[in-house]
Amino acid sequence: MVRLSRRIHFNAGRSLWRADRSAEENRALYGEETPHGYGHNYDLEVAVQGEIDPQSSMIINLTDLDRVLKEEVDAPLDHRNLNRDVPGFPLPPTAENLASWIWRRVSARIVREGWPCRLAFLRLRLTPDFAVEIDGIEGA
């Protein structure tokens, strides 16, 4: 098995505050954040794993993987507010929820396309010292 990884960057805003909680409860859960939220410059790394195809000498064409990342991650998320602009996004938009949402979309797309590989790893970095990782075939 071989792993191939790709990185993309996107920017998005979010607020972790929940409307069904008081300001005190929200501060206890999420710190000093305000209901207005803030943005992040996200760094996403994904890795796919599979056998090298004897015809192409690849496990996946990078052009295809780039297209999936553009359509499934960048297009719906870049320069969007995760609370308001992404239909069906799980709230609150924690790093864990965002990483799981991305995993499900990219993994499902790889399966739909019928490529002989699988999503094996995802790292979503929000700041230089904070990232969420999903590793393994079980995923999110």
User: What is d(CA 118, CA 40) in angstroms, rounded to the nearest whole number?
Assistant: 28
Q: Is residue 121, in this structure, part of any structural domain at all?
A: yes
For residue 80, is pLDDT > 60?
A: yes
For the whole prediction, is pTM greater than 0.75?
yes
Say what percent of the chain tops pLDDT 70.
97
Q: Is residue 140, in this structure, part of any structural domain at all?
A: no
Query: Two tokens at 45?
Result: 């790394």
Q: Is residue 36, in this structure, part of any structural domain at all?
A: yes
pLDDT in tens, 16-62: 988 889 889 988 988 877 778 889 999 999 999 999 999 999 999 99
Q: Is residue 80, in this structure, part of any structural domain at all?
A: yes
Q: Which domain holds residue 119?
A: 2-135
| pLDDT mean over 100-125 | 96
**DSSP labels, 54-121:** TTTSSSS-HHHHHHHHIIIIIHHHTTEETTTSSTT--SS--HHHHHHHHHHHHHHHHHHHT-SEEEEE
Q: In what helix (H) or strand (E) does residue 53 lie, and over which residues does it extend?
A: none
For residue 90, is pLDDT > 70?
A: yes
Our count of domains for the chain comes to 1
Encoded amino acid at 65, one letter: L
Average pLDDT of the residues of the chain: 93
pLDDT value, residue 138: 56
Q: Is residue 43, in this structure, part of any structural domain at all?
A: yes
pLDDT band at 140 (very low <50, low <70, confident <90, very high): low
Strand partners of residue 110: none
CATH code of the domain covering residue 93: 3.30.479.10
